[in-house]
Amino acid sequence: MALAARAFERLLRKALVLRGDVARPIFERWQIRQFLACRTWPHFLVDFGIFSLYNTSVRYVQELKDRRLEYNRLWKERYPERILAHRQLAAAIKARTIKKPKNCQECGRRARINGHHTDYNKPLEVKWLCGKCHLAEHGMHV
């Protein structure tokens, strides 16, 4: 609960700074805990005017989750070979059959590395790329 309260307080501080209300006092910890406990804090933020542009209604959030779950289900049905290749690669990394490098094979940058499959029929043959190079490999330039 304490971590959630601190995260909520950080969120409020950022929002207040974005609004320009830095002089306005931040809420007491007991108030933040109360908002988190009764789960009404999104409505409070909307009433307060911090996130008035965002639709924070519970129904809207649930619709988004349902749409995402349906999209994921359809994707898994459409591309079972990709799922299998990803699982086999993850199992090989976990079993330490394959060692995941720390540097990108394209640019040599030290970053979070992703395995890029060029052929899903060969699940253990991957190019290790950073996020930027991985997007470029898929034709999405940053």
CA distance 123 to 14: 43
Q: Which domain holds residue 93?
A: 79-137
Both 56 and 17 in one domain: the answer is yes
| More confident position, 5 or 68 | 68
Query: Does a structural domain hold residue 65?
Result: no
Output the furthest CA–CA distance in the chain (Å, rounded). Answer: 60
Q: What is the DSSP secondary-structure string of 48-86? A: HTSSTTS---HHHHHHHHHHHHHHHHHHHHH-HHHHHHH
Of 15, 31, 60, the last residue of a domain is 60
Per-residue confidence (pLDDT) for residue 15, from 0 to 100: 59
Q: How many domains would you assign to the chain?
A: 2
Query: Does a structural domain hold residue 126?
Result: yes
Asked whether residue 117 carries a pLDDT value surpassing 70, the answer given is yes
Reported as a pLDDT band with limits 50, 70 and 90, residue 4 is: low
Per-residue confidence (pLDDT) for residue 77, from 0 to 100: 94
pLDDT digits (tens, 9 = 90+) for 39-51: 555 555 555 554 4
Per-residue confidence (pLDDT) for residue 31, from 0 to 100: 61
Closest CA to 129 of 58, 12, 112, 79: 112
Per-residue confidence (pLDDT) for residue 55, from 0 to 100: 47
Per-residue confidence (pLDDT) for residue 54, from 0 to 100: 46
pLDDT digits (tens, 9 = 90+) for 48-72: 554 444 445 667 777 888 888 999 9
Query: Does a structural domain hold residue 94?
Result: yes
Question: Residues 6 or more apart from 83 whose CB is under 8 A from it?
Answer: 76
Both 56 and 85 in one domain: the answer is no
